Each structure stands twice: as C-alpha cells, then as structure tokens.
Amino acid sequence: MMSFARGAAIRSRTLIWLLAACLAFPHISQSADRPGLLLTEDGVRTIRSQLGSVPLFDASLAAVKREVDQEIAKGIETPIPKDFSGGYTHQRHKQNFFVAQKAGVLYQILEDPKYAIYVRDMLFQYEAMYGSLPLHPQERSYARGRLFWQCLNDSNWLVYMSQAYDTIYDFLSEQERQKLEDNLFRPFADFLSLDNPQFFNRVHNHSTWGNAAVGMIGLVMDDQELIERALYGVKDADVDVSARDNDGGFIRVDGQKAGFLANVDAPFSPDGYYTEGPYYQRYAMYPFLVFAQALHNLKPELAILEHKDGVLLKAVDALLTLADADGEFFPLNDGQKGMSYNARELVTAVDIAYHFGGGNRQLLSIASQQGQVLLDDTGIAVAIAVRDNQAAPFRKTSVNLSDGPNGRQGGVAVLRQGNEDLALVFKYSAQGLSHGHYDKLSYSLYERGTEVLQDYGLVRFVNIGQKGGGNYLPENATWAKQTVAHNTIVQNETSHFGGEYEIGSRHHSVLHFFDASDPRVQIASANDANAYPGTKLQRTVALIQDESLDRPYLLDVFRVTSSVSNRYDLPFYFMGQVISTNFSFSTPPALQALGSGHGYEHLYLEAQGEPASDSSQVTWLNQGRFYTLTTATLPGDTLLFTRIGANDPDFNLRRDPGLMVRRDQAEATVFASIVENHGSYSPVSELALNATGSIEGLAVTLDSDEYTALTIRQATGLSSMLIIANADASADANHRLEVGGQFFQWSGPYKFLPRAESPR
C-alpha cells in the first residue's frame, strides 16, 4: 500500500481526489487519508496486522469492546441538559463522548459497521437537538455551556467527538457530513470560541480544552479558519478584562496572546512544570497532547512537538516526577489526593511520550502498570515494545523544576533519598493561577508513598454530587488555600499576601541554591521577600543520610528576619497518632477554634504545652511506622496540638492532626527541625523496633545574615553540623567561618560535617 504526505494531502483534498482514492482501493469505501487525526491509516494497518499477538493492546481492545458493546446494548440517550457534575444528565453526556470516541476506534480496528452506525446515530441525535438548545440552566459558571453547565465540559465533548467523527468520516455520506458540520460541529465550535471569548481566549487550562476542541474539529473538517482560531485565539474579542472565573482566577484576556500556542508557551516552564501543579497538569495534558498529536499528523510544518524546545514532551517527564512512590501526584495547590499515573490522561501522556519522544524504555514500565494503552498508533507502539521486553524500571531522582514561562518565577524541588524512602516536595513557585495556594516555601514529606507530613490538598469531592455538585466547597477558600493549612510559616495569623490573589499573583519565591549531587546531603534552599512585606523568609531543606545512622532524616531550617516584632506559627501536619512528647502539655475541657480567620477558624486547639528543653520532640505512629519531629525551641515558645475540623458545618474537612510551633514577639529567628522515621511496629508480631528516635536534639549554633550553623546531636552522643551560606550561595564561593571556637573552610553554598564536636 502507498503512503501519503498527509499534511499537504489533506489540505488539497477535493472531490476528484476522493474519487481517485476510491478507484485505487475499490475493496474499501474509505478514502486514503481517513482516519488521520490520532489514529492514522498506517496505524490501523499495523494494529490489524498485530492483533492477537500484543497482550497489552489486545487486553485494552477487549476492555474497550466490552464497554462499548454494553453501551450499544443500552441504546443511545441524549437527555435535555439539567444537572451539575455528578448529576444524571452531566454523567450521561460525558459517558456519550467517551463511548463514541471508543466506538469509532473499534470501527476502524474491527471493521464492524455497527460501531460506525452507533457513532453516526449518536451524532445525529445531538445534531437534532443542538440547534434549539439554550444555555445550560445552571447559572453558576462564568462561561456556561449548552450540553454541560460550563463550556469546559462542552469542550471535552468536542475533543472526543472530533476523534469519533474522524474515525467514521468515510462511513458517512457527503450529505450526512454536511449536515453534521453545518448544524452541530461548526455552531458548537463557534459557540465555544466566538460566543465565549472570555473562556476561549485565556491562558488557562479551560482555554486549552477550548482551543483543542475547536482545532481538532477544524482539522477533521479541514476548516482553516477554525484551525487558525484554535492556534491563535478569537481575533478582536470583546472581553471584560477585570472579570473573574468561578475559582476567582483572572480572566485577563488581552486580545494579543491567546490560543493553543499561547497556552503551550505560558503555563509551562522550560523544564515542563505546569504552573497550576500536577493535578491540573494531568487534566490539562490530555488536550495539549492529543491536539499536538493531531497537529503533528496533519500540520507537520508547525513542528508542534519541537515547540519551545520540546516542552510538551518535557512536561510529561515533569509530571511523572511529581508523584510519590505509588505514582500518586503531589497535591500542590488544588489537587485531589489519589490521582495517579493510572489516570486515563496519563495513559495518553505515556504512550505519546514514548512514541514521539524517542522511545524512553522506562515509560514502558509505567505503561505495563497502567495495564492499558491507547488504541492508536502510539498505543500499538508501546504494546509491541512491552511485549518485546523492552521495559526498563522507572526510576525517579531528585529534581529541580523551574516555574514560569521563562523559568524565572521560582520553582518546585523534589528531593529523594534512596528508593524514595524519603521524598520531599519543596514549593518555592509562583502563585499557580486560580488554583494556587498561599503557601510559599512549604513542603510535604513522603516515605515510599505514605504521607509523613501532608499537604492537605483541596476541599472538593470531584464528581460527588451530594457535596456541592462535586464542585469546590467553601472550605477550599477558607481552609485549603490558606497558609496555615500548609507546612510553612504564618506571620501574625495572616496568610501570605494577606490571602489576596491579585497580590500573590504578582510575586514568586526565588531559588537560593539546589544541590542533589551528593547522595548523603541533598539540599534545596529558597527565599521569599514578598509574602509578608518587610519580612524575609529563607527556608533550607535537606535530606541527610548520615553514615552513623541507619536511616535518612529531613533537616528543615526556616530563617525569618523582620524589622518588627511578630508572631510566627510553623505548623507540621504529621499523619498519625501521638505516641510521646518530651514536654508536658495540657488539654482544654472544650475544643475551641484557634483563631477567627485565614484558616485558623478551622483548627481546633487540642492541647498546648511549653518546651522543657532546647529541643522539643513529638513521636507519632502511622501505619506501623514511628516518626519523630525534633524542633529547636526557645523559652516562651508554645507547642500547639491542632485538629482540623472547626467551623465545618457540612463535614467537608478531614479530622487530621497537626503540631504548631508558635513563637511570639520575634524579629529575626530560626526554626530548625528534624523529621525522622526511625522505627516500626507490627500488630501481628507486636514488636516495636526502634520506637525512640536517633536524634537527641538540635541547636542553632550560629545565625547571621551570612551564615546559619546547626548542630545535630544524636542519641549516641555523636554530633554533626550543617552550615548554610545565607548571603552568597554560588557554587564557587569560598567561605571561612568560626563556629564555637572551631574554624571551618569550604566552598559552595553549604558545608556538612558528619562528626562535629558539639560547640559549647
């Protein structure tokens, strides 16, 4: 069989061309260039020839066939739109586009016309209703859809239906196609774009979906106007630039930079980090990648996969590294916990990244774990490689990812020790658009996929109708986004930037240094001077594997300098049950909220104590593991045990514990803490191994604008020291410092001394 130069061919398609193709291949009714969007004719040929010999693909095909056959048996339903997410009409229309896309693929692979008929009939049911459909009756959205309550979901529909249409294109008569395009697809695309520029022309994941929807149907219809509009936005749109979306995000449409290319440029840093965070990156990746794949197939001259130094494929790598040992994404900003590599969007991402990204064999391990592949060119390539034992273990390492379109708006660092025995996610990024949280210099800590110090995530039960229609709940704004909901400093019980989105969006933290080159000391440090005007924050986090200890630990040095006296609160959201403390505490007769705003109204004060020594310790037990937090405390500090759940009238919040270190009337101060996993407990053997920690205490031995030195005392009597260069963190700077009568000399931003004499 011949192959065609597709990008050019599709644009020159004419009736004569079609006729020629039909004559050349009289045994099939399809023209030579359909399908072409994702599944290509070459791909279909390969798939048909391999069927039955590629287990991963065969299993995926069988699962899809089972699902589609069940749906076909049930019949097609296109109810009048009525419900929010989670409700019946929402779910039904959503299910329809998923199934139609799959049925179209089955038609191509299995050549059974019943699948094409199913898609055709469904499309005509939509065609019959669409013209007279008013706006969706639910009025909450800044951009209401017609099938769904928001244009976002209407765009989802069109992204999938474009694929369905492409796969049955040749099955339809010219007349049928005309009818669908005139009455359904073109008005649908116009509605999402021309009628809703406040949705379509943003730099935002909503718009990415809209752009991909309009662009993909444009590619199938070979409609240059739609394709241009998708790539560059609606021209001369009239949009209220001061408007906000439902999440409080700016609409911020300036008419210049809009469309798919702008959306590729803006939210991704050159390292592939997506500024909203991995949960939304996962969601957004699908339209980015499928539209890119379609453009690659049909507009190769755009070289979309090479755009911005190949950022779309880099983004897949970045996304995969922003996950714990179980493949669950770190819930930076708004992120629902539990979302993982196994999401369908990641099947797309992994298959496309493998096929178009040079065949990274580590990706095949993830594909194997996903247990499914796309039923297209990329999926068959992955399945064949897996079958041929090409998979290599997927290994995540420490990584530092910049944020911002040019990589100059802070970033996110992930430190990993051993085989993810400890993984620390350190956030010093920009605001993250409307899904951002006010948590400069926060972190969360994991041990092999289990949360040690948690990031709360979001307050939303996605698609669970009983909980506010599955949408964001009020406590997302009043709790989850607030600073005190995170493991970072709160000054005077006020969130960073006062919790003001406009202000937070203007600023970002700044990397001080990152060095993961020595597996014994992996370290990252960042500054923030804007969260609280007049206050400088510098946090240094390190995973240290001291040779004299069995296990690595986290060292956390938070330096605060202010010209005035403030209250500083540093919470640690440890997961588990308190086993012991080295200080006494009292519990109140009734639980009151800790404060009255900025998230404090959602914390109960469960207990309160004062330090009994220079190092306050709390040991807790979680899922059979003992952990200890050791934090350097001062006389006058207060240790507050908190519990989330106050002022939560609908049980939207989890009742999780926290320990807050409170320091009053401080100007410049350092919070230095260590978190270690030191032991284990089995309820079966009932053996408690190493139930007490290996760290006896730690002290800030020296602190100046130039240097901070920490002394870490082990229970064995050994001491070690970490010195951080606060002023000049360049790799080649030479330092000379006296600490407690000893002189140290080194170059680079930090010095770790595994066996330091404890200075007196």
Using rule CB under 8 A, residue 277 touches its own copies: no
Which positions from 636 to 675 touch its own copies by CB under 8 A, shown as an x/- string? -----x-x-x-xxxxx--xx-x------------------
Using rule CB under 8 A, residue 466 touches its own copies: yes
CA 190, CA 214: separation in Å to the nearest integer? 8
- Judged by CB under 8 A, the residue of 207, 619, 669, 708 near its own copies is 619
CB closer to its own copies, 81 vs 331 = 331
Q: Which of residues 679-738 bind its own copies (CB under 8 A)?
A: 681-688, 691-692
Please name which of 122, 80, 125 lies closest in space to residue 98, comparing C-alpha atoms: 122
- Judged by CB under 8 A, the residue of 9, 129, 579, 612 near its own copies is 579
Q: At closest approach, how far in Å is the CB of 695 from its own copies?
A: 16
- Judged by CB under 8 A, the residue of 43, 86, 197, 658 near its own copies is 86
Catalytic residue among 280, 443, 627, 707: 280
CA 480, CA 474: separation in Å to the nearest integer? 10
> Taking contact as CB under 8 A, which single stretch among the options 313-321, 388-396, 495-503, 578-586 is the one that binds its own copies?
578-586
CA 95, CA 236: separation in Å to the nearest integer? 35
> Taking contact as CB under 8 A, which single stretch among the options 112-120, 155-163, 209-217, 587-595 is the one that binds its own copies?
587-595
CB closer to its own copies, 272 vs 657 = 657
Using rule CB under 8 A, residue 577 touches its own copies: yes
CB closer to its own copies, 346 vs 570 = 346
Q: At closest approach, how far in Å is the CB of 236 from its own copies?
A: 37
Please name which of 499, 497, 494, 521 lies closest in space to residue 507, comparing C-alpha atoms: 497
Please name which of 485, 456, 665, 659 lies closest in space to residue 560, comparing C-alpha atoms: 665
Residue 446, token pair as written in the block: 């994991």
Catalytic residue among 90, 93, 355, 435: 435
Q: Count CB atoms within 10 A of the CB of residue 112.
A: 12
Residues 6+ apart with CB under 8 A from 420: 324, 325, 396, 446, 448, 449
Using rule CB under 8 A, residue 607 touches its own copies: yes
Q: Is 760 exposed, middle or buried (0-12, 13-18, 19+ CB in 10 A)?
A: exposed
CB burial string 560-594: b at 16+ within 10 A, e below: bbbeeebebbbbbbbbbebbebbbebeeeeebeeb
CB closer to its own copies, 125 vs 463 = 463
Q: At closest approach, how far in Å is the CB of 336 from its own copies?
A: 6
Using rule CB under 8 A, residue 157 touches its own copies: no
Q: At closest approach, how far in Å is the CB of 476 from its own copies?
A: 15
Residue 552, token pair as written in the block: 């690595």
Q: At closest approach, how far in Å is the CB of 620 from its own copies?
A: 9
Mark whether 27 is an active-site residue: no
Please name which of 441, 729, 678 lies closest in space to residue 557, comparing C-alpha atoms: 441
CB closer to its own copies, 1 vs 684 = 684
Residue 68, token pair as written in the block: 């589609």
Q: At closest approach, how far in Å is the CB of 345 from its own copies?
A: 10
CA 408, CA 68: separation in Å to the nearest integer? 47
Using rule CB under 8 A, residue 371 touches its own copies: no
Mark whether 435 is an active-site residue: yes
- Judged by CB under 8 A, the residue of 5, 303, 464, 731 near its own copies is 464
Using rule CB under 8 A, residue 337 touches its own copies: yes
CA distances from 383 to 9, 317, 409, 579 (A): 29, 20, 39, 49
| Secondary structure class of 643 (helix, strand, coil) | strand
Using rule CB under 8 A, residue 461 touches its own copies: yes
Using rule CB under 8 A, residue 578 touches its own copies: yes
Q: At closest approach, how far in Å is the CB of 599 from its own copies?
A: 17
**What element of type H or E holds 605?**
strand 603-609
Using rule CB under 8 A, residue 148 touches its own copies: no
Using rule CB under 8 A, residue 592 touches its own copies: yes
Q: Where are the beta strands (DSSP E) in 637-740?
A: 638-644, 657-666, 669-681, 688-689, 695-703, 707-714, 719-725, 734-739
**What element of type H or E holds 569?**
strand 566-572
Instruction: Say how many residues touch its own copies, by CB under 8 A.
Output: 54
Q: At closest approach, how far in Å is the CB of 463 from its own copies?
A: 5
Residues in the chain: 760
Using rule CB under 8 A, residue 237 touches its own copies: no
> Taking contact as CB under 8 A, which single stretch among the options 76-84, 269-277, 403-411, 603-611 is the one that binds its own copies?
603-611
CA 559, CA 543: separation in Å to the nearest integer? 18
Residue 705, token pair as written in the block: 């604008």
Using rule CB under 8 A, residue 344 touches its own copies: yes
Helix axes 113-130, 88-110, angle to 10 degrees: 140
Q: Is 178 exposed, middle or buried (0-12, 13-18, 19+ CB in 10 A)?
A: exposed
CB closer to its own copies, 472 vs 681 = 681
Using rule CB under 8 A, residue 118 touches its own copies: no
> Taking contact as CB under 8 A, which single stretch among the options 201-209, 268-276, 464-472, 552-560 is the one that binds its own copies?
464-472
CB closer to its own copies, 368 vs 758 = 368
**Residues that bind its own copies in the complex, under the rule CB under 8 A:** 86, 336-340, 342-344, 461-467, 470, 577-580, 586-587, 589-593, 604, 606-607, 619, 621, 641, 643, 645, 647-651, 654-655, 657, 681-688, 691-692
Q: Which residues are known to be catalytic?
A: 280, 435
